């Protein structure tokens, strides 16, 4: 959550697929927390030229990954940071907000944040008090998923992942990603959102099979 956390105990080794999932959550968290620097853009460009293990070349996730890699290769770091600031920070009010509560019914907005804070406390995770972002920022939620995946691949660990994802990520990510992709001001971030949605769609499908 870009803050101080209490490390989670690794209950059993993380399988290779889960390690890749954790890496993707970390990437999404980083990209939506701040604009990318040149090194990150270069890394995404190189990685995006490769294949995603287990994904057909025409699958939505693989196509979105290639599109993100191509966008990163063509993007200047300063322009990417300016785009991020313009869309997600703005002056006064951001064009698009990456907070879960914004996309929920008004009656649920305060309750979800209170409930989330309680859940994080139970997990032993704490927000860095110097961080300006609320806990329901997409980057923070992705960081929590990364920590939960790192806790192991037991049935109990997977159930914890599913419970957190379905309660705090699933209800709103599609609306957020759609808003980013539809914005006329997102040249790079429309591809970040496209990849994010494709990946989280796969997560939904996997959890629904449990």
The string of DSSP codes covering 13-31 is: PPPHHHHHHHHHHHHHHHH
Residues with Cβ within 8 Å of residue 21, at least 6 apart in sequence: 149, 203
pLDDT band at 55 (very low <50, low <70, confident <90, very high): low
CATH code for the domain of 91: 1.10.3480.10
Look at residue 56 in the predicted model and tell me its pLDDT. 61
Within a domain: residue 7? no
What is the Cα 28 distance to its own chain's centre? 4
Q: Is the pLDDT of residue 131 over 60?
A: yes
Please identify which residue in the block is written with the tokens 């803050």: 3
Give the residue with greater pLDDT, 3 vs 58.
Answer: 58
Q: Is the pLDDT of residue 7 over 60?
A: no
- What's the domain count of the chain? 1
How far apart are the C-alpha atoms of 71 and 62, rounded to whole Å? 14
Within a domain: residue 9? no
Look at residue 106 in the predicted model and tell me its pLDDT. 66
Within a domain: residue 51? yes
Quick one: which of 63, 88, 68 has its CA closest to 191? 68
Q: What is the mean pLDDT of the chain?
A: 88
Within a domain: residue 10? no
Domain of 99, in residue numbers: 16-208
Within a domain: residue 21? yes
How far apart are the C-alpha atoms of 197 and 69, rounded to whole Å? 15
Within a domain: residue 187? yes
* Cα 179–Cα 180–Cα 185 angle in degrees, nearest 5: 115
Task: List the end-to-end C-alpha distance of the chain, in Å, as a whole number.
Answer: 27
Q: Are 17 and 124 in contact (CB under 8 A)?
A: no
What region does 54 belong to: left with phi over 0, alpha with psi -120 to 50, or beta? left
Within a domain: residue 1? no
Within a domain: residue 4? no
């Amino acid at each position: 959550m870009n803050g101080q956390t209490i490390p989670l105990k690794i209950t059993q080794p993380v399988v290779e697929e889960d390690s890749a999932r954790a890496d993707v959550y970390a990437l999404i968290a980083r990209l939506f927390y701040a604009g990318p620097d040149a090194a990150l853009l270069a890394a995404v460009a190189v990685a995006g030229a490769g294949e995603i293990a287990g994904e057909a070349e025409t699958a939505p996730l693989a196509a979105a990954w290639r599109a993100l890699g191509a966008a990163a290769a063509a993007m200047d770091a300063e322009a990417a940071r300016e785009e991020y600031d313009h869309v997600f920070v703005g002056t006064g009010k951001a064009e698009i907000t990456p907070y879960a509560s914004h996309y929920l019914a008004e009656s649920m907005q305060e309750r979800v944040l209170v409930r989330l804070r309680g859940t994080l406390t139970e997990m032993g995770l704490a927000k860095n008090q110097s961080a300006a972002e609320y806990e329901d920022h997409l980057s923070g939620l992705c960081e929590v998923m990364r920590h939960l995946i790192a806790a192991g691949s037991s049935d109990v660990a997977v159930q914890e992942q599913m419970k957190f994802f379905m309660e705090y990520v699933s209800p709103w990510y599609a609306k957020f990603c759609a808003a980013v992709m539809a914005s006329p001001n997102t040249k790079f971030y429309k591809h970040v959102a496209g990849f994010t949605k494709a990946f989280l769609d796969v997560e939904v499908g996997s959890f629904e099979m449990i």
